[in-house]
Chains A and B, each alone.
Chain A
Amino acid sequence: MTTPKILIIDDDLDMQRLLKLYLKMSGFDTVECTNGLEAQALVLEGGFQLVISDLMMPGFDGIQFLRWLRQECKSMVPVIVCSSMSDKKTIDQVMSLGAGEYCRKPFRMDVLIPMVKGLLAKAD
């Protein structure tokens, strides 16, 4: 069985580093980028089993990326949105655009990792 590869989209490099560290410790491969545009190019190259994305990023943000991923790219790759936004409107919008989970920052890794595993198992 190949190691699942996860795309991390976050403009905060310190957050990227922490996500990468935890995911690697849990046995996943990661690729990181800092906004939705870079993510588009990476997704088109293919090979990701899951995407973890921030929402507020300069340029092409998380909502735009998610909309592109589901509506234009027609990709069904599972997405976990990690953001510090907490209003119901944002969360509802993210979920209706097809995110599998919403994880509010700051989060504990023992919350995120089971989400990752759960979505990967469902996708199988």
Chain B
Amino acid sequence: MTQIAEPFNENQESAERAAGEVFSGFDSQYLNVYRENLELTAKARDSSINIRLLHSLIENYTRKSLELKEAYLEISAKNETMNQFLGIAAHDLRNPISINLMYAEFLLEHKAGSLDQDAREMIEVIRDRAGFMLKMLDSLLDLTRIEAGRIETVLETVDYAGLIKKICHSNRMLTESKNITLREFLPEKSCEVRIDPHRMEQVISNLITNAAKFSSPGTQIEVRVSIDEDRLVTTVSDQGQGIPAEKIPKLFRLFESVGIKPTAGEKSTGLGLAICKKVVEAHGGTIGVKSVVGKGSEFYFSLPLSLGLEPR
């Protein structure tokens, strides 16, 4: 049988021919059984090839996922070290920069009389640059905390309308210095919410500061609060330059500059909106923007009322 079976493996047609010659005297029923046997052998061979293939695929997959897991752990560890380093560096840098800022302020406030104009202006530059570095450092510290999952949201029950009024009040000095009107529109019924007021103030102030940064004198910034079904929606809209549609996806990413010039040469850290996004998301909310070039932008974020936020 094995002698005959050998060539049969090659090709079913020639096998049948050969079988027909060798077994010409045999009865056709026997030939049929033999043919079925051949087909089954071929199928068995195919499945054994498939199983081997499957085995090697699984093996490959397992190895790859182990490699990926190792790489992931390695990157996580590196990331954690990086974050720790950034946190320490930012903190240790704060003190000397604070000294620079405070010394410059002292000179400008108490020694201005004995300084000529050049000296005064240079010290003002030192003060302003030191202030900017501090802002940048604080944002970096914030981000490292957020990245490390250590974002502190200390939830409190807050009168949201009251909070908005307070934030607008404290930002009015900035907007008025650019001759921009800042107005708030609040819902009639007051709204008590469970949020981190400090973090939320950071978000709303950032949106107002940004709006002012890209607005011209004589324009208006509006802060609106509304309740849309199960969400509390806050919008900050301006009549500024607007943002081209293709730049919008970059806005909330770290250190992405969209290349729009502030109206009074203000500086940007490139971190503000990324932090806003993280803070809003930590509250279970979403943030976004609608903008028309030449007409203005409207930044909005919504917080779920289901997360302990209740209109009263």
Contact A106 B102 (CB under 8 A): yes
Map CB proximity to A onto B94-133 as digits: 1 under 8 Å, 0 otherwise: 1101110111011001100000000000000000000000
Contact B98 A84 (CB under 8 A): yes
- Find chain B residues with CB under 8 A from A108 CB: 105
| Interface contact tally, CB-CB below 8 A | 41
- Find chain B residues with CB under 8 A from A88 CB: 152, 154, 198
Contact B134 A87 (CB under 8 A): no
Give the size range of B's interface with the partner. Answer: 10 to 19
A88-B152, A88-B154, A108-B105 given; A18·B94 CB < 8 A: no
Query: Which residue in B95, B110, B154 is a CB contact (below 8 Å) of A105?
Result: B95
- Find chain B residues with CB under 8 A from A18 CB: 99, 102-103, 106
CB-CB contacts below 8 Å: B68-108 with A? 91, 94-95, 97-99, 101-103, 105-106
In chain B, what residue has the closest Cβ to A15? B99
Looking at chain B's contact residues, is the secondary structure mostly helix, strand, loop, or mixed?
helix
B177 CB → nearest A CB, Å: 18
At the interface, yes or no: A120 with Cβ under 8 Å from chain B? no
Contact A87 B152 (CB under 8 A): yes
Assuming A84-B98, A109-B106, what are 16 further A-B pairs, CB within 8 angstroms? A14-B99, A14-B103, A15-B98, A15-B99, A18-B102, A18-B106, A25-B110, A84-B91, A84-B95, A86-B138, A86-B141, A105-B95, A106-B97, A106-B98, A106-B102, A106-B134
12 pairs, A vs B, C-beta closer than 8 Å:
A15-B99, A15-B102, A18-B106, A22-B106, A87-B152, A88-B152, A88-B198, A89-B152, A105-B94, A106-B97, A109-B106, A109-B109
